[in-house]
Amino acid sequence: MSVDKYLDREIKELLNKFPKIGDIFDEYNIYCNDCSRGTCLLKDAMELHNLNKDDEEILINKIIELTYPEKIIPIPNVKSKIKNSKDLICSPPIKKLLNEHKLIKRWLALIPIIIDYVENDKDKTRQILLDSRDFISSYVDRYHQVREEDNLFADFDESLEIFRIMFDEHEEIRFYAQILLIAITDNDKTAIKESLNTYRVVISEHIKKEEDILYPWIERSITIAQINNLNSKCIESDINSPNIAEIYRDLILKLENQLKNKIGIII
């Protein structure tokens, strides 16, 4: 009796066969339940989430109990602290990407209010939508996502499943962004509202996956040479796109100031 035969199985296959494994994953902050693909292997998922030895042993034993119910496996009485993955972030290039996420999240937080403006044909709605279109295409895609792909992902083995998933999700984000941009161009109120909601869900889930899984895994794997290389690439990227970060920080601040009375925040 062994769980070894399941280590090389895709997560989605295991969840289909043993749905309660999802509860075990949740307990150990392994976010496979929320992943629409589930193509990572079980052994890779445990590595990506950086379980310590005690947590990994307990998790494996729980999976054995679930997959082999006829055999009771004693689980060690160990209460180890599951690490907060965000606490592992320390290298400057990853911190820069996290700061870019913060700006994207600030715009995402405005979407319900933007939708309210669209529904009620409020003043400045058209300009707010045009500003949002600019932010999505110029900052989120051509600045942030391209920086990840060309600078960060390219420094690692892009054939790894985690990077294949990230590339696929970037393309998915671009697909929904394009639908939204077309809706804004056509001034189609219904399509704008639906696309804003869809885009917010898709990119929010992607950012969470990067912050909770990808970036911490990179931090554990990255070398000093790679950090220096990534820093150089970031500097070169900023030279090629001068003031882009400042321009879009100012844009988001402008949108927040326009909408702050509606969202009840202090700028």
Task: Please report, in tens digits, the pLDDT of each residue of the chain (267 residues total).
Answer: 455 666 667 777 777 877 877 777 777 667 666 665 666 777 666 666 666 666 777 777 777 777 665 554 444 444 444 444 455 567 888 999 999 999 999 999 999 999 999 998 887 899 999 999 999 999 999 999 998 999 899 888 888 888 988 999 999 999 999 999 999 999 999 999 999 999 999 999 999 999 988 998 898 888 889 888 888 888 888 888 788 999 999 999 999 998 876 554 443
Within 13 Å, how many C-alpha atoms sit on residue 187's CB side?
4
Tell me the three state secondary structure of residue 41: strand
Length of the chain, please? 267
Q: Where do the structural domains in the chain lie, given as residue ranges?
A: 4-67, 85-263
Whole-model pTM: value is 0.72
Asked if residues 115 and 124 have their Cβ atoms less than 8 Å apart, the reply is: no
What DSSP designation does 83 have?
Answer: P
Q: What angle do CA 124, 129, 133 make, to 5 degrees?
A: 150
Amino acid 81: pLDDT: 43
- CATH architecture of the domain 4-67 equals Orthogonal Bundle (1.10)
Asked if residues 115 and 151 have their Cβ atoms less than 8 Å apart, the reply is: no
- In degrees and rounded to multiples of 5, residue 80 shows phi and psi of -95, 155
Asked if residues 81 and 51 have their Cβ atoms less than 8 Å apart, the reply is: no
Q: What is the CA radius of gyration of the chain?
A: 21
Indicate the Cα dihedral angle 252, 254, 255, 261, nearest 10°: 130
CA 15 to chain CA mean position, Å: 21
- CATH architecture of the domain 85-263 equals Up-down Bundle (1.20)
